[in-house]
């Protein structure tokens, strides 16, 4: 009895199916590469446009004066020397006094602590200066806490919450206004801007604008996420 051996070969995939599978794999790779390229382009646009936009905000805020009736005029601190305001701080205080005399707000809030070795705080120097120039002491509230803009405004926000007020007219140098506004808005203030127009620090120079643009980006992209908002 003879036995016929039949060879069994594995079934082969039709060529059309092979081409379809290969095409699908290539399509997935193309989509992934396209996705990566899109992400890189978006990152490049962000790197270029974000500083440009922040710089525009710095310049724009420095040219805005939307003074109106508010609960308080808040004067950002600057250097003081043994209780005497520096020319920059004096210019800010003079501007706040003008706003006070125009009945923009019934009170002026001076802010700023002191640096190591100082005998006086920026807020205290501001209080003394304003009272010497005719503002009643009862209408000046010194907030002698904080060694930078953010810390000082947080201290003001806590006081505002205790006393039940929210709207503020912010006074500082033109290039400083955008960062001050961003911080104050984050804290929950209803903010209005009135930058100084006389004295040192009023020019929107390249160096000052660049520094404040970097500060604005740092707060917007990083610092605000761990900054409390007492009025919100």
Average pLDDT over residues 11-22: 53
Structure token digits, residue 29: 């790779």
Q: Is the pLDDT of residue 53 over 80?
A: yes
CB 108 within 8 A of CB 73: yes
Average pLDDT over residues 187-200: 92
Looking at residue 226, its pLDDT comes to 87
Looking at residue 18, its pLDDT comes to 46
Average pLDDT over residues 184-195: 96
Average pLDDT over residues 99-119: 92
Locate all alpha helices (DSSP H) within the chain, ordered by sequence. Answer: 15-62, 87-101, 122-132, 149-163, 177-187, 206-221
> Residue 153 — very low, low, confident or very high, per pLDDT cuts 50/70/90?
very high
Query: Domain segments of the chain: what residues?
Result: 62-226
Q: With CA atoms as reference, report the closest residue to 220 among 194, 192, 185.
A: 185
Residues 6+ apart with CB under 8 A from 194: 65, 66, 67, 73, 95, 99, 104, 169, 170, 171
pLDDT digits (tens, 9 = 90+) for 73-94: 999 999 999 999 999 999 999 9
Pick the CATH number of 62-226 from 1.10.3720.10, 3.40.50.620, 3.40.50.300, 1.10.240.10: 3.40.50.620
Looking at residue 19, its pLDDT comes to 52
Average pLDDT over residues 125-152: 94
Name the percent of the chain lying above pLDDT 90: 62
Report d(CA 198, CA 86) in Å as an integer.
14
From 28-37, 62-71, 186-195, 204-213, the region with the lowest mean pLDDT? 28-37
Q: Is the pLDDT of residue 47 over 70?
A: no
């Amino acid at each position: 009895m003879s036995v016929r051996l039949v060879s069994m070969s594995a079934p082969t995939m039709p060529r059309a199916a092979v081409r379809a599978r290969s095409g699908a794999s290539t399509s997935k790779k193309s989509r992934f590469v396209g996705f990566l390229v899109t992400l890189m382009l978006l990152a490049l646009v962000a790197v270029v446009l974000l500083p440009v936009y922040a710089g525009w905000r710095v310049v724009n805020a420095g040219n805005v004066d939307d003074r109106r009736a508010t609960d308080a005029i808040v004067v950002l601190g600057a250097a003081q020397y043994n209780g005497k305001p520096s020319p920059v701080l004096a210019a800010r205080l003079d501007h706040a006094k003008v706003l006070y005399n125009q009945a923009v707000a019934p009170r002026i809030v001076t802010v700023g602590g002191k640096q190591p070795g100082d005998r006086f705080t920026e807020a205290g120097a501001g209080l003394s200066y304003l009272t010497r120039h005719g503002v009643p002491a009862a209408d000046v509230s010194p907030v002698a806490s904080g060694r930078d803009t953010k810390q000082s405004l947080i201290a003001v926000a806590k006081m505002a919450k205790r006393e039940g007020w929210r709207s503020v007219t912010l006074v500082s140098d033109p290039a400083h206004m955008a960062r001050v506004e961003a911080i104050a808005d984050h804290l929950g203030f209803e903010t209005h801007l009135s930058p100084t127009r006389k004295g040192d620090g009023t020019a929107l120079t390249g160096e000052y604008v660049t520094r404040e643009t970097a500060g604005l980006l740092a707060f917007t992209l990083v610092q605000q996420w761990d900054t409390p908002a007492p009025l919100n």
